[in-house]
Amino acid sequence: MELRLSEIREKFGEQLAFSEQRGGDPLIRGIRAVESCGEGDLVFVDSKKFAEAASGRKPSAIVTHPMFAEVFAPHEGLGILVTQLVSLAHAIIKSQYADRDFMDDQWPELPPSAVIHPKATVARSALISPNVVVGAGARVGERTRLLSGVVVENDAVIGDDCVVHPNAVIGYGCRVGNQACIGAGTIIGSEGYGFGQDARFKSYRIPQTGIVVIGERVRLGANNCVDRASYGETRIGAGTKTDNLCHFAHGVEIGEDCLLTAMFCIAGSSKVGNRVVASGQVGVIDHMNICDDVWLLHRAGVVKDIETSGKYCALPLQTLGDYKRNMEEAVKLSELAAQVRALQAQVDDLRKA
């Protein structure tokens, strides 16, 4: 990597809304963390803490917010790009210049251990690693990378420019859109949890014969499970990003551009709108509906429909404002209990009198 700061501004200036370039136009050889940067490095600064650290480390170039730009003004020769969108700049610039190159492969040809069914269709530009299995009727798109141990079952479809990490499974008939990233160990199209019971409570499996549809630009973290529907489709909308260890039951529908962090768990046939954010260990019971632009925080438990956008917390589910007030009172419980006991003692004395 060798490029001038002005090249970054020219290429991404409109997308990242750079308001100005200050100082010099240094040669950039790498992108580093603020804590370990030095000469030749580009760093991203969006907090006072990082601004102070970067001032001491003396990188060659900085992308920063307008409120911190003046901190670096005395540094002679330092190149500064100013934008309100520092986090977005970090994502886009590092993805362009310092990401892992999944197409730079140590296995230039089809490895002997890979098994591709004669009736599968794999694009010539796709890359296949050892121990990959692609079943009959499956299709793998252009420039898609299947890392070691991936299984693509019969009639599954993976779009263009996808990365499927080691030991992930794309189940039969399931569909993955373009530019998706599927984490290691993730199962798309696992068996949905559906049983019928007889009079003695002995369970009988209800065949889960639907599919899973993953939209474009979806990122599923490691060890996610997305169950296939009993009938029809389980869907995860375009642009949604999940953390590790998330579970999606059969028939669930997730909207577009959602952010769902670790241990998000949603039961069958529930529907989540667009741009929903969930913090760790959020749970949603079956047949719930959550509208657009909802934040679920502090282990929220969704046991009734959410029809109004906003921030919700805990179980029983409550708005963020109510939750804060209730928590403030909760830390006073021992004090309140002591007051109640004192009042009870006074009442008892009055009764005796």
Catalytic residues: 250
Give the span between the Cα atoms of 344 and 348, in whole angstroms. Answer: 6
What one-character-per-residue DSSP string does 268-325 give? TT-EE-TT-EE-TT-EE-TT-EE-SSEEEESS-EE-S-B-S-EEEETTTTEEHHHHHH
CA nearest neighbour of 218 among 244, 256, 173: 256
* Coil vs helix vs strand at 207: coil
Give the span between the Cα atoms of 257 and 261, in whole angstroms. Answer: 13
Q: What residues contact 35, with CB distance under 8 A and at least 6 apart?
A: 53, 57
Give the span between the Cα atoms of 35 and 145, in whole angstroms. Answer: 33
Residues in the chain: 353
* Coil vs helix vs strand at 9: helix
**Omega of the bond prior to 316 within 30 degrees of 0, cis?**
yes
φ and ψ of 53, to 5 deg? -65, -40
Give the span between the Cα atoms of 172 and 155, in whole angstroms. Answer: 6
Between the alpha carbon of residue 84 and those of residues 17, 63, 69, 238, the distances in Å are: 7, 10, 11, 26
Between the alpha carbon of residue 353 and those of residues 339, 346, 349, the distances in Å are: 21, 11, 6
Are 220 and 182 within 8 A, CB to CB? yes
* Coil vs helix vs strand at 139: strand
Give the span between the Cα atoms of 154 and 243, in whole angstroms. Answer: 27
Give the span between the Cα atoms of 152 and 167, in whole angstroms. Answer: 10
